[in-house]
A = this chain, B = another copy of it.
């Protein structure tokens, strides 16, 4: 049995054929090339899907279902709203079937697809109570309870990045003040690093940033490794904020696995070890024999496409 997973992003449209072991066996992609009409975008979705099928040495008759991961809010068969694609009430399932035939089609938010991919084919290893957090430009998340995605009555749920951890704190892009995203995203870390550099013209971080050509999410971590006190302070504060939100999620969901992804996670155990210490000290479940495992995401950019391909398992 083979399925197609499609990752519709603001930059690229990627389609993959996935086998029943949740492995990608062929892939094709094309630039999204915005601005374009929804019709043009769905024509390209069909084109790369067919290319991936040919690449896999198969035909569309071998495909048992198609899954599409998209930014924005998805309500069953409709993409209600996706700002960066200019989508407003797009009948995605119908538009795919018109182009690829009467195959079962499922649509879901891309962060939810990524969580599903990691839970079933990545670090989750098939577990059914799973929370995935991505520390990237923002803080994304996807939640699986009893094997089902938590999406809420309006499919706008699982926005854990937009939970306030500092009342009256730093402004967030969403309009609230003090969201987790405003403290724990890579963007936030870069801002925290820049602020510390401005306050400490003697920090080695100036040198490191000059070498790299910019201040990045790595600057403070690299400075810490070189024993720079300011770098250590930035990393310590950042980890405290990340841990506060992670512990909140543990206390709400007590998932089997809490998975962290995104660029910052390339720090590996440098990041995970202190996070585990915080969570272990602060979680409410001190008397429980079973505890949430904190793990690093395994699938990288493939999580979303594999998750889209296996949407049939949760719909």
Interface residues of A (CB under 8 A from B): 73, 80-81, 129, 143, 145-146, 148, 150-160, 162-167, 169, 174-176, 178, 183, 240-241, 244, 247-248, 251-256, 281-282, 284-285, 287-292
CB-CB nearest in chain B for A288: B154
On whether the beta carbons of A153 and B255 are closer than 8 Å, the reply is yes
CB-CB nearest in chain B for A143: B252
Contacts A81-B287, A291-B154; A167 near B256 (Cβ below 8 A): no
On whether the beta carbons of A167 and B165 are closer than 8 Å, the reply is yes
Contacts A165-B165, A166-B166, A251-B160; A73 near B154 (Cβ below 8 A): no
Given contacts A157-B252, A252-B252, 16 further A-B contacts (CB under 8 A): A73-B285, A80-B287, A81-B287, A129-B152, A145-B145, A145-B146, A146-B146, A150-B252, A151-B254, A152-B254, A154-B288, A154-B289, A155-B254, A164-B247, A164-B248, A166-B167
Interface centre among A148, A176, A244, A252 (most CB of B within 10 A): A252
Q: Contact partner of A254 among B154, B244, B247, B284, CB < 8 A?
A: B154
Interface centre among A151, A159, A290 (most CB of B within 10 A): A159
Contacts A282-B175, A284-B174; A162 near B251 (Cβ below 8 A): yes
Collect the chain B residues with CB atoms within 8 Å of residue A150's CB: 145, 252-253
Q: Contact partner of A251 among B157, B167, B281, CB < 8 A?
A: B157
Collect the chain B residues with CB atoms within 8 Å of residue A166's CB: 165-167
Contacts A240-B167, A247-B176, A287-B73; A152 near B253 (Cβ below 8 A): yes
- Separation of A154 and B292 alpha carbons in the complex (Å): 9
- Separation of A146 and B144 alpha carbons in the complex (Å): 12
A-B contact pairs, 27 of them (CB 8 A): A80-B288, A129-B152, A145-B145, A145-B148, A145-B150, A146-B146, A150-B252, A150-B253, A152-B253, A152-B255, A154-B285, A154-B289, A155-B254, A156-B254, A157-B253, A157-B254, A159-B284, A163-B163, A163-B248, A163-B252, A164-B244, A165-B165, A166-B167, A167-B240, A175-B282, A176-B282, A252-B252
Q: Contact partner of A162 among B143, B159, B160, B284, CB < 8 A?
A: B284
Collect the chain B residues with CB atoms within 8 Å of residue A164's CB: 165, 244, 247-248
